[in-house]
Amino acid sequence: MSAPAATPTRPLRLSTRSLGDRLGDFTLYGLTGGAAFGVVAVVALLVYELFDQAWPAIQRFGFGFVTSHAWDPVKAKFGALDFIWGTVYTSLLAVLLAAPLSIAIALFLSELAPRGVRGLIGALVEMLAAIPSVVIGLWGIFVLGPFLHDHLEPFLSRTLGWTPFFSGGVPATGTGLLTAVIVLTIMIIPITASIARELFLAVPNDLEEGALALGLTRWEMIRGVVLPYTRGGLVAAVILGLGRAVGEAIAVTQVIGGLLGIHVSLFQSGDTLASRIAAQYQGAATNIQVASLVYLALILLLISLLTNFGAQVIVRRFEFQRTGGS
Amino acid sequence: MSTPQSARYSLRPTAQLRRRKLVNHAMEALGTLAALAAVAVLGLVVWAVAKRGAGALDKDFFTKLPPTFGETGGGIANSIAGSIVIVLVATAMALPIGVLIAIYLNELAPPRVRRSIGLVLDILNGLPSIVIGIFVFGLLVIGSGQAAWKASFALAIIMLPLVARSTQEVLALVPDVLREGSLALGVSRWRTTLGIVLPTALGGIFTGATLAVARAAGETVPLLFVSSVTTSQLSWDPKLALQSIPLTIFEFLESPNPDDHEKAWAAALVLMTFVLLLSILSKAFLARSRRKLTR
């Protein structure tokens, strides 16, 4: 009897969704959002943790650490300059070798290769990236190193020994900066090449065909259309390769020789940030040595954040330009 | 015979055209050579590992434990078990979380958040594994000792961006018509995502997972810090520090004993075969799911 009277007091239901669905949506948002922001938290925690571990060294050595040569666990004197030099020098040389080669490979895969070969060779080049770095290091020390020592290094010493890069005569073993540079080159080529290939494949066909229809040769089309169109992305691809080279530890540890000092000659041994940490972090004798090694890691982190961030910004700007800002 | 007229309009290439064609051929040859060189390097590495590793590969290598000091023979059964445990646990951590992140980024997040978290993922992907190793060492190992699951945690951090990014890529390929159709029928967001979007993208998720497993299986540095002080007993317990294949290669290689070097090559052959098979498998998955989604 009171049924009609009760109707107005019932809350107006805007949503017809059941409780289960609302709960489900809430859980979905919560879980996925939590995971996504969790990653950001992990990265932040990582930076904090490194600062925390490096703190004794930061307090003791300050910024002077970056410009100091010393690495003497006995006298507890530590500095990063030699390793920064080793990292920057080997990585830049590797990128210098790898960039033109990768771009050439990518051009072959996207513009030149016959259709049947294209997929196969592309897959093989990417497989090179899949080989674990410890295996590359093993190959570097037992196969590449001795080969360089027996064949390439005597030749380089004879013909280019007058330049600072190959001075000082052939070293006694196959380890050293040259071997490290070549190993790094091998490791970054597949990365840079596969990004560059994607870029070249994204060049609109009408631009390429238009250029060919105007009577340009394939190389002129590449130089005049493909390369300018992909310039920004190529820079980013090379920087990403550089980031990989800077952070590579295990393969470099095995072939670089692990020696202090700032050398220009590739026949010398040296050491990089990552390689020194890999070699000593476990066996470090004193707390200050551990803290100094983490300080090295902090510098490495900074370099790799800068390179990655730079590359991503370039990629994003490049995409923005290409899609007209949509 | 030939009139001056026809000489002027000759179809014979001029010197300039010949030069242009020459430059073109030279550049094409260089490109081809570079690609062949990369393939040759792959061939050289695979050949060297296969040739030097095959000698020590026998049944014992897979089933026996490492010899005690001074003995010869034996195998790396403990490393194989350890690698399996570490990588499986890492996958169990990284796969669900990676997929959740990808769902959030592709299905739910506002564009600005999507871009920033995408950037964080890309940066995480570019972090040197040695930095991640030190992070996990400081976070989990200092004070409480090494354990296999801690190594799995480090590997999971390395795998996470790979899984998330490749899942996101396939989710983006799922046609909007499917989502809109489902939502228009009154199906809620979570059921649409779990029931319609995810199953369609399953192939791509497998691709990302296999790719990430291939990457994680070969990682050495985090294991060196987080799971390296081990016994040579066979164990499947993730709470203990377990030996692993990459670490075994690294340790055998530093050893002065030539017998150990041969074992390093054999272990490298096992690891490389596994990783290359996985990467071929992931390519097959990818091709299949792309075909299905873009048909």
> pLDDT tens digits, residue range B158-192?
999 999 998 998 898 888 999 999 999 988 888 99
Contact A101 B38 (CB under 8 A): yes
Residue A282 forms beta bridges with which residues?
none
Among A5-19, A102-116, B41-55, B222-236, the range scoring the smallest mean pLDDT is A5-19
What predicted TM-score, i.e. pTM, was given to this entire model? 0.88
Our measurement of the distance from residue A279's CA atom to the centroid of its chain's CA atoms, rounded to an integer in Å, reads 20
User: How many other C-beta atoms are found inside a 10 Å radius of the C-beta of residue A100?
Assistant: 12
Picking from B35, B117, B188, the nearest residue to A40 by CB comes out as B117
Q: What is the 3-state secondary structure (H, E, C) of chain A?
A: CCHHHHHHHCCCCCCCCCHHHHHHHHHHHHHHHHHHHHHHHHHHHHHHHHHHHHHHHHHHHHHHHHHCCCEECCCCEECCHHHHHHHHHHHHHHHHHHHHHHHHHHHHHHHHCCHHHHHHHHHHHHHHHHCCHHHHHHHHHHHHHHHHHHHHHHHHHHHHCCCHHHCCCCCCCCCCHHHHHHHHHHHHHHHHHHHHHHHHHCCCHHHHHHHHHCCCCHHHHHHHHHHHHHHHHHHHHHHHHHHHHHHCCHHHHHHHECCCCCCCCCCCCECCHHHHHHHHCCCCCCHHHHHHHHHHHHHHHHHHHHHHHHHHHHHHHHHHHHCCCC
Task: Give tens-digit pLDDT for A226-258.
Answer: 999 998 889 989 998 999 899 988 888 888 888
Average pLDDT of A116-124? 87
Backbone phi, psi, residue B202, to 5°? -55, -40
Is the pLDDT at B16 greater than 90? The verdict is: no
Q: Are B213 and B89 in contact (CB under 8 A)?
A: no
- Look up residue B236 and give its two tokens: 């499947």
Report the distance separating Cα B89 and Cα B133, nearest Å. 17
Q: Are A242 and A91 in contact (CB under 8 A)?
A: yes
Preferred mutation among A51, A139, A221 to probe B, highest tally of B CBs within 10 A: A139
Question: Helices B148-173 and B198-217 meet at what angle, rounded to 10?
Answer: 140
Task: Give tens-digit pLDDT for A40-98.
Answer: 999 999 999 999 999 999 999 988 888 888 888 888 888 889 999 999 999 999 999 99
Q: Tell me the pLDDT band of B7, cut-offs 50, 70 and 90.
A: low
Residue B265 is predicted with a pLDDT of 92
Q: Are A232 and A202 in contact (CB under 8 A)?
A: no
Is the pLDDT at A2 greater than 60? The verdict is: no
- Look up residue B200 and give its two tokens: 């369609």
* A5: closest CA of chain B, how far (Å): 31
- Look up residue A193 and give its two tokens: 């090449």
Backbone phi, psi, residue A210, to 5°? -60, -45
User: How many other C-beta atoms are found inside a 10 Å radius of the C-beta of residue B255?
Assistant: 12
CB-facing half-sphere around the CA of A62: CA atoms within 13 A: 1
**Minimal CA–CA distance to B86: which of B210, B207, B245?**
B245
Residue B147 is predicted with a pLDDT of 85
- ipTM reported for the complex surpasses 0.90: no
Amino acid at B106: N
Interface of B with A in 134-193 (CB under 8 A): 134-135, 137-139, 157, 160, 164, 188-191, 193
Q: Tell me the pLDDT band of B23, cut-offs 50, 70 and 90.
A: very high
Picking from B122, B193, B283, the nearest residue to A123 by CB comes out as B283
Contact B221 A250 (CB under 8 A): yes
* A2: closest CA of chain B, how far (Å): 34
User: How many other C-beta atoms are found inside a 10 Å radius of the C-beta of residue A164?
Assistant: 11
CB contacts < 8 A (A, B): 256
Picking from A131, A297, A316, the nearest residue to B275 by CB comes out as A131
Report the distance separating Cα A243 and Cα A230, nearest Å. 20
- Look up residue B293 and give its two tokens: 């989604």
Q: Which residue has the tokens 């290769």?
A: A113
Torsion of CA B212, A237, B30, A163, to 10 degrees: -110
Residues of B in contact with A38 (CB under 8 A): 97
Task: Give tens-digit pLDDT for A135-170.
Answer: 999 999 999 999 998 888 888 888 888 888 888 777
* B4: closest CA of chain A, how far (Å): 26
Mean pLDDT for chain A overall: 86
B291 versus A212: the higher-pLDDT residue is A212
B131 versus B233: the higher-pLDDT residue is B131
Report the distance separating Cα A194 and Cα A124, nearest Å. 11
Picking from B28, B48, B101, the nearest residue to A139 by CB comes out as B48
Mean pLDDT for chain B overall: 87
**Burial bucket for residue B295 (CB in 10 Å: 0-12, 13-18, 19+):** exposed
Category of B100 on φ-ψ map: left (φ > 0), alpha (ψ -120 to 50) or beta: alpha
Torsion of CA A308, A311, A312, A316, to 10 degrees: 180
- Look up residue A98 and give its two tokens: 């790898």
